[in-house]
Chain A
Amino acid sequence: MIEFEKIDCKQLGEVLYGGTHKSGLKIYLLPKKGYSKSYASFAARIGSIDNEFIAPGETEVTKVPDGVAHFLEHKLFEQQDGGNVFELYSKTGASANAFTSFNTTAYIFSATRDFYANLEILLDFVGKPYFTHENIAKEQGIIGQEITMYDDDANWRVFFNLLGAMYHKNPVRKDIAGTVESILEIDKDILYKCYNTFYNPSNMMLFVCGDVDAATVEQYVDKHVTAAPGGEIKRMYPNEPSGVNKSFIQQKLSVASPVFLLGFKDDKNEAQGDGLLYRQAVTEVLLEMLFGKSSKIYNALYEQGLINDMFEVDFTSEVQYSHTIMGGESVNPEKAKEIILHGIKNSRLCDAELERCKKVLIGRFLRLFNSVENISNLFVSNLFKGVDLFNFPSICEGITLNEAKERLQSHFNEENCAMSVILPH
């Protein structure tokens, strides 16, 4: 029996149970009463950035084509009898899906009945890869259309163009799905190699949110997750030089008005665990003070017609990279950038604003717990990097004005700033 550790968050009124199965699989449960849906996420720590590694027990470096993690995600839905996993879920009515991010691949379902029958489907199919030459060729057609769809998507293009401009070498600069060309290099052997390396239970996690019982979940894991824990995967990431690759990039697409994103990358990435969460919290408070809807910069941009209320600001804090990205539609991205940079330089942070912005952040954090999907997806990505999200409110409350000021100095460095623009044809 797994001894589940109980983690309480009084302010939220939520409890998280966590434990490790003998296979090495981490299991987490967050009970939610009163919800119709229960949600499960069976996730592997492999994302689009994991394309160079040394598999456990090997000494040679394996390099794989861009887009493999995402391709694997699609292909695991294939069944040996020629059918797909959706046919199994169609017998229970669950809504099932999967997604691949830079760091994680997650297989998910939400169901309003027969939770354990769905859990069995999930645990079973992710554990049974079936790749053939024919089913790979079929998927190259579907994913090819997926990539082409995003080629027309201004919001998608402006984002990946920016990552390509900010980073010289870090693989976060590449499209998650790869390219129409790179996916043609993918074959059976590559898929099995990646699967065997990254889909070992000790590189995976099961997160369940809903009206669910821990002991019963464990029984199903016992039945379906039978592999022994694997050795260490050595992941190779290139050293990222400081400064941006290019400070400006633009592309023309069929849009009505220009779309822009401005990015600031961090040079140093040494944070782990609570350090990552602290960096997240202090940066988010700072961003709220500088660019929130009550800030001087936001209102100056808005009143001059340089942004609309779809303007967004977001900070991403990972082990291998971290950056702030902000932007939206603008008639004059250059002018918007000028006001943003000028506003940062001339900002006067004060305690009253800090306290107000902390309230905004805590309200926003609480709101995330309205949705079983949000909770699960957030916890999975944070637990994989060793972050305990329940600490967010207390870390946030403890941030001082000096800390915010220091973060402003270290983060908003013009050498680390790039802009990406999509212009109408």
Chain B
Amino acid sequence: MSIHSFEIKKGVNLHHINTDKFKTATLGFYFHRPLSKREVTINALLSHALKRGCPSYPDTMQLNKRLDELYGASLSCGVRKKGDSQVIHINFEFISENYVKTNQSILDGIFGLAKEIITGQTHFAAQQVQQEKENLRRLILSVINDKRSYANIRCVEIMCQNEPHGIRELGFAEDIEKIDEKSLYEHYKKIVLKSPVDVFVCGDVDINKVLEHIKQMFEYTNQMDFDRPKFQMTKSGGEIKKIIETENIAQGKLSLGFTTGINAPQRQYPALLIFNALYGGGPSSKLFNNVREKLSLAYYASSRADLLKGIMTVNSGIEVANYQKAYDEIMLQLGEIQKGNVTDEEMSAAVLAMINSVKSITDSAIAMEDYWLGRLIADTQVDFDELTSQLGKVTIEDVVEVSRNVALDTVYFLKGKES
């Protein structure tokens, strides 16, 4: 399933994914900002403040009632890290008009809100901003609640400590206090609205009507930058960084960070995806079959490769006493691939599993939006059929060659207090 892109004006692009298979349609706005210590926190706060109200519905309860009237349309806002940028996103999902009896257009209703919430704010209410500051502060602190993802986040930020990618996309608790409703509004008007933006609409919609709405929305914004922010691959830093931290937990979390030297714009990217599937991508991978099934060390042991940064992480939950065993096995399995010890069965399993997951993306609107967003930032627009065919052509030799570029950079272990 491809996208049809329309340039509304320099820096504002609309992408249409045309399908009638969903009961709902989605409308997503993605503003691109370079990740930086200076503005990461205010961008995160802005994403939360936007959903609190707009000129016609200054009160959050009234705004939510309006969404209810549109058959429980959903509005969600946040920030996402993509390479070295921070993407501020505002997403609507609403019922396709084919499925409900209604005498008002749901699409027009949604755009009525989108125009005010996204480009038509006239100020932010002091009390709402104060509440969202407190929410953001707690959200930042709560990153530690999910230990599995926390270990991965720590590993990546240690690995990329001198790069924008090492900054957490929610920002810094200590930078929240100095923001107020005035500085937030200034930032919104002068920086965010002038940033490059991608708009996605997915579903059975009248695209001409959507184009008209988007043109109106962005009539008065003047984009300063027309291009999405650049990103750089993480270079291996020589000596391996080893960090052990302690929390009051029962199960240790081991997270290993590797540089791969390969990302989406490169010719070998499909081979990297197959390598990752073979190494730790799922139940047919070497990590699953050895760390979990053969040695019974963990319930999960998996790897994931980044689209843009040329890095890969391996995550596993283990008993603290098994740290060395698990570490050795994870490295041993990488060594096996590097030595070329890959069977035809393992190879074909990795290719089939990868193709299955690429094709599955087309069954979810939000997964498709995220895929295309990444591809737009990478500036390599490969559609699902093309990627599938590239994956089918990868050979064992390609995978082994890719694996030999993979180098350990960071070892992070979150362990429990000694019992």
User: Which residues of B are found within 8 Å of A101, using beta-carbon distances?
Assistant: none
Contact indicator A90/B284 (Cβ below 8 Å): yes
Chain B contact surface mostly:
helix
Contact indicator B93/A367 (Cβ below 8 Å): yes
Is the interface on chain B under 10, 10 to 19, 20 to 34, or 35 or more residues?
35 or more
Contact indicator A148/B68 (Cβ below 8 Å): no
Contact indicator B21/A35 (Cβ below 8 Å): yes
Contact indicator A363/B317 (Cβ below 8 Å): no
Whether A90 touches B349, Cβ cut-off 8 Å, given contacts A360-B68, A363-B95, is yes
Rounded to whole Å, the gap between the CB of B319 and the closest CB of chain A is 7
User: Which residues of B are found within 8 Å of A372, using beta-carbon distances?
Assistant: 363
Q: How far is the CA of A13 from the CA of B67 in the complex (A)?
A: 24
Whether A148 touches B135, Cβ cut-off 8 Å, given contacts A96-B283, A256-B142, is no
Contact indicator B71/A254 (Cβ below 8 Å): no
Rounded to whole Å, the gap between the CB of B226 and the closest CB of chain A is 33
Rounded to whole Å, the gap between the CB of B320 and the closest CB of chain A is 11
User: Which residues of B are found within 8 Å of A249, using beta-carbon distances?
Assistant: none
- A93 beta carbon closer than 8 Å to chain B: yes
Picked from A12, A87, A151, A360, the residue with its CB within 8 Å of the CB of B251 is A151
Contact indicator B356/A94 (Cβ below 8 Å): yes
Among B98, B143, B348, B352, residue most surrounded by chain A Cβ atoms (within 10 Å): B352
User: Which residues of B are found within 8 Å of A86, using beta-carbon distances?
Assistant: 283-284, 288
User: Which residues of A are found within 8 Å of B293, using beta-carbon distances?
Assistant: 84
Picked from A111, A143, A255, A425, the residue with its CB within 8 Å of the CB of B145 is A255
Q: Name which residue of chain B comes closest to A95, CB basis.
A: B356
Q: How far is the CA of A305 from the CA of B142 in the complex (A)?
A: 15
Contact indicator B251/A356 (Cβ below 8 Å): no
Q: How far is the CA of A331 from the CA of B135 in the complex (A)?
A: 11
User: Which residues of B are found within 8 Å of A89, using beta-carbon distances?
Assistant: 283-284
Among A32, A149, A369, residue most surrounded by chain B Cβ atoms (within 10 Å): A149
Is the interface on chain A under 10, 10 to 19, 20 to 34, or 35 or more residues?
35 or more
- B376 beta carbon closer than 8 Å to chain A: no
User: Which residues of A are found within 8 Å of B355, using beta-carbon distances?
Assistant: 93, 112
Q: How far is the CA of A154 from the CA of B247 in the complex (A)?
A: 14
- B23 beta carbon closer than 8 Å to chain A: yes
Rounded to whole Å, the gap between the CB of B143 and the closest CB of chain A is 8
Contact indicator B71/A362 (Cβ below 8 Å): yes
Contact indicator B99/A112 (Cβ below 8 Å): no
Q: How far is the CA of A286 from the CA of B345 in the complex (A)?
A: 54
Contact indicator B249/A359 (Cβ below 8 Å): no
Contact indicator B24/A257 (Cβ below 8 Å): no
Name B281-311 residues within 8 Å CB distance of A.
282-284, 288, 292-293, 296-300
Contact indicator B359/A299 (Cβ below 8 Å): no
Q: Which of B5-13, B58-66, B228-236, B396-404 contacts A (4 or more CB under 8 A)?
A: B58-66
Rounded to whole Å, the gap between the CB of B281 and the closest CB of chain A is 11
Q: Name which residue of chain A comes closest to B293, CB basis.
A: A84
Q: How far is the CA of A176 from the CA of B71 in the complex (A)?
A: 36
Contact indicator A308/B249 (Cβ below 8 Å): no
Among B60, B98, B356, residue most surrounded by chain A Cβ atoms (within 10 Å): B356
Contact indicator A255/B142 (Cβ below 8 Å): yes
- B380 beta carbon closer than 8 Å to chain A: no
Q: Name which residue of chain B comes closest to A259, CB basis.
A: B145
User: Which residues of B are found within 8 Å of A138, using beta-carbon distances?
Assistant: 296
Contact indicator A364/B72 (Cβ below 8 Å): yes
Picked from B20, B60, B364, the residue with its CB within 8 Å of the CB of A371 is B364
A residues with CB within 8 A of B: 11-13, 32-37, 84, 86-87, 89-96, 110-113, 138, 141-143, 145-146, 148-149, 151-155, 253-257, 259, 292-296, 299, 302-303, 305, 308-309, 329, 331, 356-357, 359-364, 366-367, 369-372, 425
Can you list 9 residue pairs at the A/B interface with Cβ under 8 Å?
A12-B99, A90-B349, A111-B356, A138-B296, A148-B251, A152-B250, A153-B147, A257-B138, A425-B248
If A12-B99, A259-B145 are given as contacts, then 7 extra A-B residue pairs at C-beta distance below 8 Å, sorted by A number, are: A36-B363, A37-B363, A90-B348, A95-B357, A256-B144, A362-B100, A366-B24
